[in-house]
Structure 1
Amino acid sequence: MLYLILLSYQGPLSAVDAHLVAHRAYLARHYAAGHFLLSGPREPRTGGVIMARADCLETVEAWVAEDPFYVAGVAAYEIIAWAPSLRAEGMPAEFAPQADVA
């Protein structure tokens, strides 16, 4: 199952930036483990988005609880479970194996 993790910053960017190095290390660990597929800031910079792959929501919730932004209280999180039914021809099937090619 795919999950979209939507982050919304709480407070000034200076508070967020104080935890940015630790947040990037957290992201790197989850990319190395194969959990995270895509991530980046929203435009304008009001938060971020992470696309993750996991077997269940509880796993994703546990990952979020480890995020330095979450621990510091500088971001609020929304987790959306997502089961894509269509994908572009060039999109790797491993991202959405159940999705048909459009």
Structure 2
Amino acid sequence: MFVVALTYKVPDEIVDFHRPAHMAWLKDAFDAGVFLASGRRVPATGGVLLSKVDRETLDNSLAKDPFFSNGVAEFEIIEFTATTVADGYENLLEK
């Protein structure tokens, strides 16, 4: 499983300019099953994505994100194995 932490590298007005294209890309990625969850960081310095696809699929998807292709954000990808989860989240466990 992967946690992708995005950190904005540009002023807010540039982030806001690219946000509609980023949100369209994100919807397509969710529709394709790439992500399990997403949201803004608090404070709003970037975002976080949760994915359970393989690394190649994740990398290919992230490369299409307008925040990446336009240099809006840096991406930190953290891989981990979920070994314990709360009731109802068993789908996050490795098989």
Same fold by TM-score, threshold 0.5 exceeded?
yes
1:95 equivalent in alignment to 2:89: no
CA RMSD of aligned residues (A): 1.2
Q: How many residues align?
A: 95
Q: Does 1:84 align with 2:82?
A: yes
**Equivalent residues in 2 for 1:1-102 (5 A)?**
2-55=1-54, 57-91=55-89, 93-98=90-95
In the alignment, the residues of structure 1 paired with residue 79 and residue 46 of structure 2 have an alpha-carbon distance, to the nearest angstrom, of 19
Residue 82 of structure 2 aligns to a residue in which SS?
coil
Counterparts of 2:93 and 2:33 in 1: how far apart (Å)?
14
- Structure 1 residue runs of 4+, over 3 Å off? none
Unaligned runs of 5+ in 1: none
Amino acid at match of 2:34: H
- Identity, % of aligned positions: 39
**Deviation string, structure 1 residues 8-27 (Cα, Å, up to 9, x no partner):** 00011111110101101111
Q: Which has the higher strand share?
A: 1
Q: Structure 2 regions of 5+ residues with no counterpart? A: none
Question: 1:42-89: per-residue Cα shift (whole Å, max 9, x none)?
Answer: 00000000001212x222121111100001101000111111110011
Look at both structures and tell me which one has the larger radius of gyration over its CA atoms: 1
